[in-house]
Amino acid sequence: MKGCVIFTLLFCIFCTSFVLCTKYEPNWASLDSRPLPSWYDDRKIGIFIHWVLTIGQIFSMHQGLGELANSIRKKTNIHFGEKALPELYELVNKYKPDIVWSDGDWETTDVYWNATQFLAWLYNESPVKDTVAVNDRWGSNIRCKHGGFLNCNDKYNPGVLQKRKWENAMTLDKYSWGYRRNARLTDYLTMNDLLDTLAKTISCGGNLLVNIGPSSDGTIAPIFEERLRQLGQWLGVNGEAIYGSKPWSHQNDTITPNVWYTMQKATNAVYAIVLDWPKGNILSLGAPVYSSKTVVMMLGYQGNIPAKPGSKGGITLNIAPVPADKIPCKWAWVFKFVGLKN
Q: Would you say 159 or 232 has its CB closer to ligand NAG? A: 159
From 52-60, 218-226, 249-257, 332-340, span contacting ligand NAG (CB under 6 A): 249-257
Closest residue to ligand NAG using C-beta atoms: 159
**Residue 237 burial (CB count, 10 A):** 17
252 near ligand NAG, judged by CB under 6 A = yes
* Least distance from ligand NAG to the Cβ atom of residue 295, Å: 25
Exactly one of 257, 280, 293, 302 binds ligand NAG (CB under 6 A); that residue is 257
Q: Would you say 159 or 339 has its CB closer to ligand NAG? A: 159
Question: How many residues form the binding site for ligand NAG (CB under 6 A)?
Answer: 11
Phi, psi for 73 (deg, rounded to 5): -60, -40
Where in 79-98 is the site for ligand NAG (CB under 6 A)?
81-82, 85
Q: Would you say 41 or 253 has its CB closer to ligand NAG? A: 253
Q: Would you say 80 or 188 has its CB closer to ligand NAG? A: 80
Exactly one of 114, 207, 264, 294 binds ligand NAG (CB under 6 A); that residue is 114
226 near ligand NAG, judged by CB under 6 A = no
275 near ligand NAG, judged by CB under 6 A = no
From 28-36, 190-198, 253-261, 276-284, span contacting ligand NAG (CB under 6 A): 253-261
117 near ligand NAG, judged by CB under 6 A = yes
Where in 47-86 is the site for ligand NAG (CB under 6 A)?
81-82, 85
Residues that bind ligand NAG (CB under 6 A): 81-82, 85, 114, 117, 159-160, 252-254, 257
